[in-house]
Structure 1
Amino acid sequence: MASDGKIVFLTGATGNMGREAIKRLHARGDVRVRALVRPEEKDHPVVRKIIAQDLATIVWGDLTDYTSIEEGVRGADVVLHVGGLVSPLADNLPRDVVTRVNVGGARNIVDAIIATGGAERVRLVYIGTVAQTGSRNAPIHWGRTGDPIKISTYDHYAVTKTQAEAIVAQSGIRHWVSLRQSGMAHYDIWRMFDPIMFHNPINGVFEWSTANDSGRLMAAVCDDAVPDHFWRGFYNIGGGAASRVVNHEFMAVSMPQYRRVLRPHWFATRNFHGQWYADSDRLEALVPFREQSLAAFQAESRRHMPALVRLVPRLAPSLVRRRIKGLAKGSGGSLRWIADNNTAKINAYFGSRAAWEALPRDWDAMPLAQPSREPVLLDHGYDEGKSADQWRADDLRQAAEFRGGHCHAASEIEPDHAVEWDCAAGHRFTMTPNLYLRGGHWCPTCMIDQGNYAAEADRNPFFAQVWTEERTWRGMT
């Protein structure tokens, strides 16, 4: 590790993105890395490697411990906040625990930066998620930052990531950025054996990133060459055109025998997340990081998968099918919802039981979609040709009216100074114009109340654009 140079404080060092960040930061040779690591992870292979190879200085603690956060932040030039509880682990923990880690962790980082005098100097990089914009099945499968926050039912992880993003964006810190991670392809993805696999629609889409490129991005944002207008913005992390696939296409490459071991009616048809980005090239233009295409990742990933894992589906497909079907029948699995007649889950993920019953039982009868490759943009309700420093009260009022509400801003607007708004349901709240317009956030109360999304779509034209297939059912809880 470099003995001088910038100090970078990294959270989430043992995760798939964090470990790649460590590797790329070390390769720079001009930064000193501090990595936040929970004491119970002291024997983690990644931690042992960090210590043995002197890749970083370990700060023992966690995101809920302000003292350890302040230790990591003090004197740092860049804070890479990659860590947190993510799905599927986050889906199986008490909600208050996930909130304490993801929301409380962001608050601790912001407070520590300000308390140590870094509000004007420190660069804070927050990693958000595509889950913040929820289900975007065709024909609304093209998205960009500024589109409505729309959180899938039961996705408390996305709730907490959205709340944490708001803390960062309204922190008063001069140099912050939110980078929303997409599906991230990593070499341990084959190990995932969790019912969440059935929550992902076969005809849904993702614009994938890779762990390799995500690590490169984390190293790149530490560079002095990053332009000033990069900061105080929201960006989607994606691999570009070559990384935009339909989920069944990804499955066909990663599991060539999928038709022999899976059945189409095991998979939800809605209420997950994923989109193709109309704006992901914007991040690449500002901070070049792309190196590994999705196809290159998939070719390379075979070397990281045990031969037995590759061979068993081919040699014993019925055995694999029984095992995977057992997962679908287990807790959190789609077939478990059907067996229990869990109407709320069935309605959320399929639309209705009748819709599930109508799904094909074999692949020959299953339509495999090819959504349009031509981007179609949602209306954000204001003149997007204006730069943020050109925004006036009329621009904000126009945006608020498109959301069914009202803005109480005076004539002079500062993009990162909070103003008062009314939402379509009559709630009064404060929010920065930047977060409202470019982040796609809206009423903090209504935005996380998925049970009232149907009513929101009736009074909020902005949100109604993404409440499309859900109009066929109203049974959310």
Structure 2
Amino acid sequence: MQGDTVMKKRVMITGAAGNMGMETVNLMKNELTKCELLLFDLDNEHSRNQLKEYESMAGVKVVYGDLLNSSLVYDCVKESDIILHIAAFVSPAADEFPERAMKVNYGSTRNLMDSIKKSGRAHEIRFVFIGTIAETGDRMPPIHWGRVGDPIKPSVYDYYAVSKIAAERMVIESELKYWVSLRQTGIMGPKMSKIEDPIMFHNCLENVLEYVSDRDSGRLMRNLCIKDIEGTLEYEFWQHIYNIGGGESCRVSTLDMYKIMYGKLGFTNLDHVIDPKWYATRNFHGQYYTDSDKLESYLEFRSDSMEYFYQSYLDNLGALVPLAKVITKVPGGQKLMGTIIKNKTKKEAVKERGTIRFIEDNDVEKIDAYWGSKANYEAIPDKLSDMKKFTDWNKVINLDHGYDESKPASELNLEDIKGAAKFRGGECLSTSMVTGDWASKITFKCAFGHTFNASPKLVLEGGHFCPECERKSWNYKERAKREPFFAQVWYPLHGKEDGREYKKVVSELDV
């Protein structure tokens, strides 16, 4: 496709019919004087309904197909200038079908990367990879503030995170000139307000997330594309990993979020609504970011606060809102309404993957993963008001990354790398490197004796380390004993003898 006078940039959007994808498309359709769109999604009823209006729109091409179809992917990639890889097989479905999660999330990224290289335009095409906050896993208080470069630590059973970690590693080591990995946080908006799934009880009451809205996620993608097309996006933006976050107004603990949500219905006592024994106390994901402003400084996408989500929640309830407000004001009304809400939500907690189901089945491995032990679970008070609550939310504990971060990147040398490797329980086996070269691979050995090649960018900026350890299992108890770097995200939340090894059923090598 070609404009009247100049060739327009073509933006390929994978997962165009999804939540983040549609928000992106709805903004990008207003930019067709500057670019053309290639919208890619699976051929199913949902995608066709979502993208129907775009099928006949000038400047837009809609492709229905599978990202695992390498020839189809190549045909799309070879004529694209910017690729927004938003498509993914996400949790909770990814946790139920781990093989599919790896096949889709890793396999699709590999096909896109291979197609970019095959096109002969690997030094021109922009590749935007969407990672996830789940890559760094459980960051409960007091280590609830984090940044890029902190240890990669997917929560046990989180195969969405496992697949994204493998894919991100491939992107970082791709040698493309224009790549970026954007680790997406929880996306709040109308769809989040409608979630009814056991995963809602995996989200610990004292977990935190720095959310971003669906609308701001779309705006982020739009601004990235337009700034790049207009030549105002600095080259320094590329070849980095960023945390996506909505900033201060989007930071909230799960319990505080419930207080506000139920408060809008008239609840003043959450004992009527929330049973703390239904909630996990570890092994989810989330953190506040000390570095999310960095992406905002480049792309200026933030506009929504958590109020957008609370309004979405009320909109979803519709006519029930004024009724609830009346009932909760009368004597016994909060208890009545709370019982109704509890009975409804409990149906999710007793399902497969539900926290109550884990306890009823005495599933020791799940109990250890989500509470640490049966004794820990039993120690949870029956009433929310009796639960000891964390209060020091603003205290930031910055993790040590094992090298002098005040040193300019251009001055990073082999001694810095050797020190960082030692802090990770391993060693750098290479005897030379070009000072300031973050991209070229060098040789490492991990604390368990595995030898591998990795770039300083992957290790220091990405927080990745040994691929063999990552593929094999969740073996965090032993890793913490041998790796001071990793111990920083383990011991604040676990005892010295907490944890067991959980074998992983799939890795990227199976794709």
TM-score between the two structures when normalised by the length of structure 2 = 0.88
Shift of 1:448: 4.3
Aligned to 1:188: 191
**1:141-161 CA-partner distances (Å, limit 9, x unpaired):** 110000000111111111100
Cα 1:464–1:119 change in 2 (3 A) is same
* Alignment match of 1:470 (pick from 470, 474, 494): 494
Are 1:171 and 2:169 an aligned pair? no
Aligned equivalent of 1:161, options 156, 164, 189 = 164
2: CA distance, partners of 1:55 / 1:165: 31
Q: In structure 2, the residue corresponding to 1:415 is in which secondary structure?
A: coil
- Given residue 447 of structure 2, which amino acid in structure 1 is its aligned partner? A
Q: What's the counterpart of residue 128 of structure 1?
A: 131
TM-fit CA distance, 1:366: 2.3
1:89-112: CA deviation from partner (whole Å, max 9, x where unpaired): 21122x221111001111001001
User: d(CA) in 2 for partners of 1:411 and 1:164?
Assistant: 26
Distance 2:196 2:446 in 1: 41
Aligned with 2:30 (options 18, 27, 31): 27
> 2-side partners of 1:2 and 1:323: how far apart?
54
Gap change, CA 1:228 and 1:265, over 3 Å in 2: same
The equivalent residue for 2:275 is: 263
Matches of 2:150 and 2:358 in 1, distance apart? Answer: 31
Is 1:236 matched up with 2:243? yes
Q: Which residue of 2 aligns with 1:247?
A: 254
Equivalent residue in structure 2 for 1:332, among 348, 353, 366: 353
Task: Judge conservation of contact 1:131–1:158 (CA < 8 Å) in 2.
Answer: yes
What secondary structure is seen at the aligned counterpart in 2 of 1:346? helix
> In structure 2, what is the Cα distance between the partners aligned to 1:400 and 1:80?
33
- More displaced stretch, 431-440 vs 441-450: 441-450
Aligned residues between the structures:
475
Distance in 1 (CA, whole Å) between partners of 2:309 and 2:94 is: 27
Which residue does 1:298 correspond to in 2?
A: 309
AA in 1 matched with 2:299: V
Alignment of 1:351-366 (within 5 A): 351-366=372-387
Using the TM superposition, give the Cα deviation of residue 273 of structure 1 relative to its aligned residue in structure 2, in angstroms: 0.4
Partner Cα separation in structure 2 for residue 356 and residue 437 of structure 1: 36
In our comparison, the structure showing a higher alpha carbon Rg is 2
Preserved CA contact (<8 Å) 1:261 1:313: no
Aligned partner of residue 188 in structure 1, secondary structure: helix
Letter in 2 for 1:285: S
Quick one: structure 1 residues 459 and 43, their matched pair in 2 at CA, closer, same or farther if it must change by over 3 Å? closer
Task: State the match for 1:345 in structure 2.
Answer: 366
1:288 paired to 2:300? yes
Q: For the Cα contact (< 8 Å) 1:176–1:233, is it kept in 2?
A: yes
Offset, 1:298: 2.8
Tell me: CA distance 1:68–1:388, structure 2 relative to 1, closer, same or farther (3 Å): farther
Distance 1:304 1:333, change over 3 A: same
What residue number does 2:41 align with? Answer: 37
CA contact (8 A) 2:138 2:283 kept: yes
Offset at residue 26 of structure 1 (A)? 1.6
Q: 1:13 touches 1:22 (CA, 8 Å); kept in 2?
A: yes
1:368-447 alignment to 2 at 5 Å? 368-409=389-430, 410-413=432-435, 414-447=437-470
Give me the whole-angstrom Cα distance separating, in 1, the residues matched to 2:323 and 2:443.
59
* Match 1:87 to one of 88, 91, 94: 91
Counterpart AA for 1:240: G
SS in 1 for 2:474: helix
Shift of 1:288: 1.4
Q: Secondary structure at the match of 2:490?
A: coil
Whole-angstrom CA distance in 1 between matches of 2:341 and 2:46: 35
Give yes or no for contact 1:239–1:294 (8 Å, CA) kept in 2. Answer: no
2:505 aligns with none
Q: Which amino acid aligns with 1:252?
A: K
Checking the alignment, whether the CA contact within 8 Å between 2:126 and 2:178 is kept in structure 1 is yes
Residue 233 of structure 2 aligns to a residue in which SS?
Answer: coil
- 1:215-272 deviations in whole A, cap 9, x for unaligned? 1110111122111111000100001112111111112233445643331110000000
Residue 330 (structure 1) shift:
1.3
CA deviation profile, 1:297-326 (whole Å, cap 9, x unmatched):
135425642414646766544233222112
> How many angstroms apart in 2 are the aligned matches of 1:172 and 1:243?
35
Distance in structure 1 (CA, Å) of the matches to 2:221 and 2:2: 17
The reply to whether residue 69 of structure 1 matches residue 93 of structure 2 is no
Matches of residues 3-14 of structure 1 in structure 2 within 5 Å? 3=3, 5-14=8-17
Distance of aligned partners of 1:70 and 1:304 in 2 relative to their CA distance in 1, 3 Å threshold: farther
The answer to whether the 8 A contact 2:11-2:81 is kept is yes
| 2:475–2:500 Cα contact (<8 Å) kept | no
Pair 1:108-2:111 in alignment = yes
Name stretches of at least 5 consecutive residues in structure 2 with no aligned partner: 328-336, 503-511
Residues 60, 68 of structure 1: 8 Å contact kept? no
Structure 2 CA distance for aligned equivalents of residues 426 and 28 of structure 1: 52
Contact 2:133-2:183 at 8 Å conserved across structures: yes
Give the Å deviation of 1:446. Answer: 1.4
With over 3 angstroms needed to count, the CA separation of the structure-2 counterparts of 1:163 and 1:313, relative to structure 1, is farther
In structure 2, distance between residues paired with 1:449 and 1:455: 13
| Structure 1: 5+ residue stretches without partners | none
Structure 1 length-normalised TM: 0.95
Identity of aligned residues (%): 38
SS in 2 for 1:125: strand
Instruction: Give how far 1:457 is off.
Output: 0.7
Match of 2:205 in 1: 202
Is the CA contact (8 Å cut-off) linking 1:248 and 1:368 kept in structure 2? no
SS of equivalent residue, structure 2 residue 40:
strand
Instruction: Give 2:290's aligned residue.
Output: 278
* Correspondence 1:216 to 2:223: no
Give, in whole Å, the separation in 2 of the partners of 1:302 and 1:336.
27
